Structure 1
Amino acid sequence: MATPSPPPHTFPRSWDDLIGHQQIRAAIGSAIAKRRLGGSLLFVGPPGVGKTATALLLAQTVLCRRNPSSSMRPCGECSDCAQVRAATHPDLIQVSKPPDKTLIPLEVLIGPVEARLQEGFCHDVHLRPMQGERKVAILHDADFLNEEGANCLLKTLEEPPSNAIIILIGTSEQRQLPTIRSRCQTMRFTSPTGDAGRDLLRHHLSRLSEADVPPPAVSDAVLDEAIELAAGDLQVAARLASGQSSEIRGKLLAQLSSPVPDPVLVARCIHSHLDSLSKKEASLRRAGLRDLCSIAVQHYRGELRGAARQGQFHGEAARRLDRTLRVFREIDRSANLNALIDCYAADLSLAVTADRGDIG
């Protein structure tokens, strides 16, 4: 069974084009030069911050046979570099969570039941390289490994083949099992700030625009506000900066600012925004809900900061913030959006965290 891989990813053509993360670049370069780059790496950080771009640049650096990897200068012209950029290199393994699944299936990692350990990510990592001397294996969406799936990886991560580099990509260390974290060298990515943050956000805005339509001109102030609202999630920040959620923001904040938000009006506000994005496309509707929750998170954080400055604790704001953060996890687990929105609106009104077990 062929393991599902993500579509080709547009990433910088060289390390010089990578926006931000100079320290991570320097650490990788030093580790390669000293032959101390770990065989199992864990990249964590907010979505859109550059983890995948860095992983693919590392793959291109290692697999390019024209320039030595220690130079950190993949040529970008040889067949190896071209195949990495097209996601067709036989020594580059990429797997991710299928879009119709809430978790990474076991068969992606260790093959189907009838061919256990004869196919899948763990099996492919141990095969000899087909073109060069190294292999690079990237597991996207590491946040969506359940305990059984993570356990399947443990032996491979603890004793990776000497000719392979394994990279797991997730959003935070806390979402990875301790057994995974202990077997990987962790590299933490943060959202660039200042000019670098704006440049990266403009890059995301250009990807949102159609191929023949230039991205709209956006002021630095709008970009900075979008990054703050999105709490470093550059994918959400790009949608906020593009204006996709600006019209609904005022209506939502009017309800969130009320001592007792009206659950009917909150739900109606959210449903109206999601319907304006798409009636049926689930991915667009989930993205829209993420945007609105990012606005709510910053609103409640602001209320908590304001209360703290007066030496007080705003318990209701804290519980509403916690409930909003749970929505992100419920979105990731493909909860029914209509039910999720209605429950969320009711819980905001009651100012309860609504801990309903593992889903939250």
Structure 2
Amino acid sequence: MAANRIEPQPFPRCWDDLIGHHRLRESIAIAIRKRRLGGSLLFVGPPGVGKTSAALLLAQTILCRRNSSADMNPCGQCPDCAQVRAATHPDLIQVAKPADRSLIPLEALIGPVEARLQEGFCHDVHMRPMQGERKVAILHDADFLNEEGANCLLKTLEEPPSDAIIILIGTSEQRQLPTIRSRCQTMRFSSPVGAEGRELLRRHLEAIAGEGEPPPTLSDEQLDEAIELAAGDMQVAARLASGQSGEIRGKLLSQLDTPVPDPVIVARCINEHLNEVSKKDAPLRRAALRDVCAIAVQHYRSRLRASARHGQFDHDCARRLDRTIRVFREIDRSANLNTLIDCYAADLTLATTGDRGAIG
């Protein structure tokens, strides 16, 4: 029985449809053929590049009983494949961070207090497969494990059942505890570039356009610019390319270009953008703030590269870049957005990293 209900997500029908990860696909295929695929895997890379799609394709490959997993060609038609795609397969365990929580709750990993180790992700992994010979367990949002939650996983990751494959999905190795990294085989997903990057971004644009609505028609140059501006984060790139965050770019950059940004104007600019996106929906507002920070990060990176070409180092610019990057972590921690924006605007003016110890 799955540890919690995960809504089915669209993902490529076959490995050939997975964009931009040919080497990873081949590595997985070789490992399966040689029976060397690790029991505990860690998929890391920017959001939207295909980590979840690859994990679900691997689950479908392992659980399909019509075609051998060594062929890397799940049939997509048998009951097992259909259940994987519908997120209802009894041997596919999925756990993710609830939308209203800042961390993956402990009960999702080891069960509620009254049923410790009798429910949850770790318990379900050790249960015998119900339908076939193998089972696959996917832990989404591994970035949001606290130390206690990560410690609950250590024994399971170190000694996974012989009939199970465990996949953790995160955005970077640095956001995982060393004890987690040391117990997993890490597979790094990079953001596709060139024609593959544009094709992947077009798919994201189709996904957010809505049913019956055509995605925006954009040139290759516009798509490349959005990918660069988002630093490879395809979810942010799709919002930037769709125009959802286009208007704020000029307003924000006019302030970021000044030697001392005005904190009142910066905060007002950001708040106006968030209110245009949504006045009440917290996830949408957090996503909009991520877009703003993506614009600022790319701006400061460009300035640092320009100063480096002249043999100089802009200390203020580097501190403002660090401060902007810290905002992403604070967004993930569900910090109060109004307070966060005010602190960020003030810290940009002072050119400080905003490091406030345990608070920052």
Measured in 2, the distance between the counterparts of 1:268 and 1:3 equals 43
The answer to whether the 8 A contact 1:12-1:57 is kept is yes
Which amino acid letter does the alignment assign opposite residue 121 of structure 2? Answer: F
Which amino acid letter does the alignment assign opposite residue 265 of structure 1? Answer: I
Does residue 240 of the first structure (1) align with residue 240 of the second (2)? yes
- Residue of structure 2 in register with 1:302 after alignment: 302
The answer to whether the 8 A contact 2:2-2:92 is kept is no
**TM-fit CA distance, 1:220:** 0.6
| SS across alignment from 1:231 | coil
Measured in 2, the distance between the counterparts of 1:6 and 1:358 equals 33
Measured in 2, the distance between the counterparts of 1:79 and 1:141 equals 28
- Residue of structure 2 in register with 1:312 after alignment: 312
The answer to whether the 8 A contact 1:5-1:96 is kept is no
Measured in 1, the distance between the counterparts of 2:357 and 2:123 equals 34
Q: What is the RMSD of the two structures over their aligned residues, measured on CA atoms? A: 1.0
The answer to whether the 8 A contact 2:95-2:139 is kept is yes
Measured in 1, the distance between the counterparts of 2:214 and 2:92 equals 33
Measured in 1, the distance between the counterparts of 2:122 and 2:103 equals 17
TM-score, scaled relative to structure 1 = 0.99
Check 1:2–1:113 CA distance in 2 against 1; reply closer, same or farther (3 A cut): farther
Does residue 268 of the first structure (1) align with residue 268 of the second (2)? yes
1:165-314 paired onto structure 2 within 5 Å? 165-314=165-314
Which amino acid letter does the alignment assign opposite residue 261 of structure 2? Answer: P
Which amino acid letter does the alignment assign opposite residue 255 of structure 2? Answer: Q
**Matched residue count:** 360
- Residue of structure 1 in register with 2:331 after alignment: 331
Does residue 87 of the first structure (1) align with residue 87 of the second (2)? yes
- Residue of structure 1 in register with 2:16 after alignment: 16
Gaps of 5+ in 1: none
The answer to whether the 8 A contact 2:111-2:119 is kept is yes
- Residue of structure 2 in register with 1:130 after alignment: 130
Measured in 1, the distance between the counterparts of 2:354 and 2:194 equals 37
**TM-fit CA distance, 1:2:** 7.0
**TM-fit CA distance, 1:6:** 3.0
| SS across alignment from 2:46 | coil
| SS across alignment from 2:187 | strand
**TM-fit CA distance, 1:104:** 0.8
Give a deviation string over 1:158-203, Cα, whole Å, max 9, x none.
Answer: 0000000000000000010111001000000000010000000000
- Residue of structure 1 in register with 2:61 after alignment: 61
| SS across alignment from 2:165 | strand
- Residue of structure 1 in register with 2:101 after alignment: 101
Give a deviation string over 1:313-338, Cα, whole Å, max 9, x none.
Answer: 10000000000000000000000000
**TM-fit CA distance, 1:7:** 1.5
| SS across alignment from 2:9 | coil
Measured in 2, the distance between the counterparts of 1:298 and 1:264 equals 22
Which amino acid letter does the alignment assign opposite residue 28 of structure 1? Answer: I
| SS across alignment from 2:302 | helix
Give a deviation string over 1:76-127, Cα, whole Å, max 9, x none.
Answer: 0011000000000000000001111111111110001111000000000000
| SS across alignment from 1:168 | strand
Is 53-62 or 212-221 further displaced after alignment?
A: 212-221
Which amino acid letter does the alignment assign opposite residue 216 of structure 1? Answer: P
**TM-fit CA distance, 1:289:** 0.4
- Residue of structure 2 in register with 1:114 after alignment: 114
Which amino acid letter does the alignment assign opposite residue 167 of structure 1? Answer: I
Which amino acid letter does the alignment assign opposite residue 355 of structure 2? Answer: D
The answer to whether the 8 A contact 1:205-1:238 is kept is yes
Give a deviation string over 1:122-167, Cα, whole Å, max 9, x none.
Answer: 0000001111000000000000111111010000000000000000
TM-score, scaled relative to structure 2 = 0.99
| SS across alignment from 2:200 | helix
Which amino acid letter does the alignment assign opposite residue 171 of structure 1? Answer: T
**Percent identity, aligned pairs only?**
77
The answer to whether the 8 A contact 1:4-1:98 is kept is no
